[in-house]
Structures are given as structure tokens and as C-alpha cells.
Structure 1
Amino acid sequence: MFKTVEESQTQLTELMVPSYTNFGGKIHGGQILSLLDKTAYVCASKHADNYCVTLSVDRVEFLHPVEVGTLLHLYASVNYVGRTSLIVGVRVVSENFKTKEKIHTNSCYFTMVSVDDAGKPSPVPGLILRSTDEMRRFIEGRERKKTNLRFKSEFEKSKKEILSNIKAYDFADENCELKI
């Protein structure tokens, strides 16, 4: 079975209210992360026709602060599918509904896994690609997955080497003070 990107595209719009603010008076990043996760979940579940769980979130970078009183629009699309996993791209735009000014505040990628009633990974439908943008996003998703797997492997190897002889680690150029 295959599905188009459009079949699962999801949009969420929410008014940013004072209870969402941090101590600096801007919308708390954690609040935005929660909305991102909900939007990615809905998009992935619509594609999978199944319950999906978040495996990882890639590159959450807050480009602009979000103000109280603005509308926050979250746009999600399935960019890539594997056998049981999906990469969902989410774009976030804040809108001042009085001035109509729109600001792209961040984009990120969620890796979601479809799970059955026993909590085991279950297959997802393939993805029908209908445009060069969808093809580009699919290829980027595949490369993102490969890069993340490579990074994880290299990091674990590096960590193992460093931790095997932690006393030999050179802290000279680090912003820390040893008190051992």
C-alpha cells in the first residue's frame, strides 16, 4: 500500500497566550516543542493508520522568538518512510494577525515509529512522490537517516575510547576546572 504526501499533511494553529511564556516574556521553547511533537504525531499516525511514537527529533533551532498574542502555525509532512519509521518535517511560522506579518521561527524533523498493540514496530505504507520537492525531501530524509546512524556509531566509538582512559583527556582548552 502507498499513500501520497498530501493524505497525511497536517496543520495546527494555536494562539500564543500569556501562560505559555518563559521568564523573558517570550513563548517558552518547551511549549513549542510540545506542539511540534503533537503535530508530528498526527501527521505520522495519519500516514501509518496506526499509533506512532517519537524516536528522535533532529535539529530544533529557534530562529526567532515567538510573541504572546501571535498565531503559531505548524505545518507537517511525511518526508521519508522506511519499513516501520517515518521522518516528518515540521515548519513553524508565527503570524501577527493584526499586521499579517509572518515569521519562520523554526523547522525540524521527527523520526516516528509505527507500533502495533503490543508496542512492536509495524510496517508503514510507502510514499507516493508527486513533485520534485517531494523527491528532494525524500532523498534528504534518507540521507538524514544515514547521517544520524553514522554519527551515533562514531560518537559511541569515540565515547568508548575517551572513557577507557578518561585521565588522559586534555581539558586544557575547555571551559572547566578540575577539582579531583
Structure 2
Amino acid sequence: MTDQVPPPESDIPGKPTSASRTTLSHIMTVSDTNLLGTVHGGVIMKLVDDAAGAVAGRHSGGPAVTASMDEMVFLVPVRVGDLVHVRAQVNWTGRSSMEVGVRVMAERWNESTPATQVGSAYLVFAAVDAEGRPRAVPPVIPESERDKRRYQEAQIRRTHRLARRRAIKELRARRAAEGIDDHR
């Protein structure tokens, strides 16, 4: 892997990472809790998907759908009364797909202490047209050294996703050729 970000391979003009970066904030209430009394992970995941979807739509200039969520990590519990900030940006783009990185921060609604990171995730979105078919997206243009690192890390995650998918397909094909029926 090189230290340079490759030039865009698209006729569509690129967009800088800052063009679609966004933060979604939400205060957690009792209706967001799980049986342990902390905020349900699914509530956080929905906020993550909402913020990432907004970023993907902004970057691609139209509808984009969630294709996958990688590495959703919960670092510490979120509590009722926490003000949660979900920060998202496009890290990498392909022809019609985008990786969006998300960082989840939380702070007490009534205290002046700094927000702390409580989670993170990487999501892949596919830009779609009115009929639901893939459509081209603008290349992302990393602006800072941090953006360049995120771009390179996103390429590594993509390589791993594709290799994992290929290995699973090969395993299933081998098992089917051996007459093993896994569909019961």
C-alpha cells in the first residue's frame, strides 16, 4: 500500500471530505433504555445509520442505502440524560459505494465536562437511482493527514470484506460439490 491517495478514476468531479461531514445530536431518555437501564445498543445503531445515511446522501447527491455495517464497537454504556453526538464522514468511495466512518460521543446534558467517545462504526452505502439501481458517486478527496489515513484504512477494510465474501462463497461451493446440504 502506498502513502499516496490514488487520483480519482471518475469523470464526476471529486468532493472533499468536509463537504458532507455532519454531526447528529440526540439526548437519551428513558424510552431509549434496555433491561439494564442503559441506552439500548439498537438505539445507538439507528443514530449511527441515520448520520451515515445523511453523509452518504450528501456526498453522492441523492439516495443511498445501507449495504453493510462493519465493526460497530460500543466502548462504554450510554446513560439516560446523556447528550449523544454522532459524527460521520465519507472515508472512501468506489464506483457506486462509499465507506462512512462514524464516531459516537456522549456528554452529560447538565455538566460542562468534555464529551467522551462511547462507540464507533464503519458503514458501506450504495448510491441508487430512482429504480434502485447503483449509480456513480463522486470520488472523495481527503483533505488532511487524518483523512488520508482513514482513506487508506478504508481500502484495507474493503479488501478484507471482499476476501471474506470470496472465501465464504468458495467454502459453500466446495460443500455443495461434496453433497453436503446446509439449507435445512
Which residue does 2:167 correspond to in 1? 154
Residue 86 (structure 1) aligned to one of 93, 98, 102: 98
DSSP-derived class of the 2:152 partner: helix
Match of 1:137 among 133, 150, 156: 150
Residues in 1 aligned to 2:81 and 2:172: alpha-carbon distance in whole angstroms: 45
Q: Which stretch has the larger CA shift, 25-34 or 152-161?
A: 152-161
- TM-score by length of structure 1 reads 0.87
The RMSD of aligned alpha carbons is 1.6
Q: 1:166 and 1:23 mapped to 2: Cα distance?
A: 41
SS at match of 2:18: coil
Give the gaps of 5 or more residues in structure 2: 1-12
Deviation at 1:126, TM superposition (A): 1.2
Runs of 4+ in 1 over 6 A off after TM superposition: none
Aligned match for 1:12, one of 15, 20, 24: 24
Shift of 1:146: 0.9
Output the amino acid matched with 1:115.
V
Percent identity over the alignment? 35
- Equivalent pairs, count: 167
- Going from structure 1 to structure 2, the CA distance change for 1:47 and 1:156 (only over 3 Å counts) comes to same
Q: TM-score, normalised by structure 2?
A: 0.85
**Counterpart of 2:132 in structure 1: which amino acid?**
G
Shift of 1:115: 0.2
Q: Give the alignment partner of residue 135 of structure 2, picking from 113, 122, 126.
A: 122
CA shift digits 1:101-143 (9 cap, x unpaired): 4221111100000000111000001112221111111111111
- Cα distance, 1:165 vs. partner? 6.8
Higher Rg: 1
